Amino acid sequence: MKTIFCIITPELNKYDKIILEEDCLEHQNKFSLKHHQKPFKSLKIDCAFVHYFVRELSLSYFYRNCVIENLLNWKGPDLLMLVPTKKNLIDYNWNDRLNELVRERCEVDHALSWLSTLGGAFSALGDYFENCAETAGKISFHQLKLAMRIDDPNIQSRCRLYLSLSLIQKKKYRLASRIVRTEFQLARNQTVVDSRLVKMCKGIWSKLQYEHGLYRKNRVIKR
């Protein structure tokens, strides 16, 4: 059994003509309301809902046949008149929140990049000047605060490892050792192991052993 209904706008502009059959749905964009033989039964329908309604009719055999059956049994409407939707399709409040979070993340990433460059320079000089090692440690601490703000555990681990490098340069080997051991265990126990973070821990541990060995030799020589 074939069922036909038309969709129009409130200004009586033609929108779509739907021809429903058991096995298919057909659209006829070009149609005229003048030659209709009987009076129209109209139903006002939300303009957002009609999109999903027509899509479901085209996709679901069961739903399409239920609609056809109900239209025939209850002599349903043959004219659907679109009305403006009462609800916003876009969640503007959530969009504003997301926009703020994205902008904040971009700014934090930008700041972290600059601090990494600056911290790397001071860390390189920290092997020769203790005040540079102190500055590198402060930069690592500020990086850690930013990483905690965006709640990124991998970046937090790297910042703590950068701090351990500063501690090694200031000859605070015990505290540096504790940090490296902790971060290594955390990196190994992650669900998805970051191989670069594990290698970073091993590299800093090697530097710690080397610097501590030199420190002990120098103390023996001075005695």
Residue 209 tokens, joined: 């052993």
Report the relative pairing of strands 14-20 and 3-8 from DSSP bridges: antiparallel
Higher pLDDT, 181 or 39: 181
7-42, pLDDT tens digit by residue? 766 665 666 777 777 777 777 666 555 555 455 677
Average pLDDT of every residue of the chain: 83
State the Cα–Cα distance between residues 90 and 92, nearest whole angstrom: 6
206-218, pLDDT tens digit by residue? 999 999 998 888 8
Residue 182 tokens, joined: 């902790």
State the Cα–Cα distance between residues 85 and 151, nearest whole angstrom: 39
Q: What is the pLDDT of residue 172?
A: 92
Q: What is the pLDDT of residue 84?
A: 82
Q: What burial class does residue 2 get, using C-beta atoms within 10 Å of its C-beta: 0-12 exposed, 13-18 middle, 19+ buried?
A: exposed
Q: What is the pLDDT of residue 28?
A: 66
57 contacts 22 by C-beta, under 8 angstroms: no
Q: What is the pLDDT of residue 157?
A: 93
Higher pLDDT, 67 or 32: 67
53 contacts 64 by C-beta, under 8 angstroms: no
Whole-prediction pTM = 0.58
Note the residue count of the chain: 223
91-140, pLDDT tens digit by residue? 788 889 999 999 988 998 899 899 999 999 999 998 889 899 999 999 99
Domains of the chain and any CATH numbers: 3-83 (no CATH), 92-222 (1.25.40)
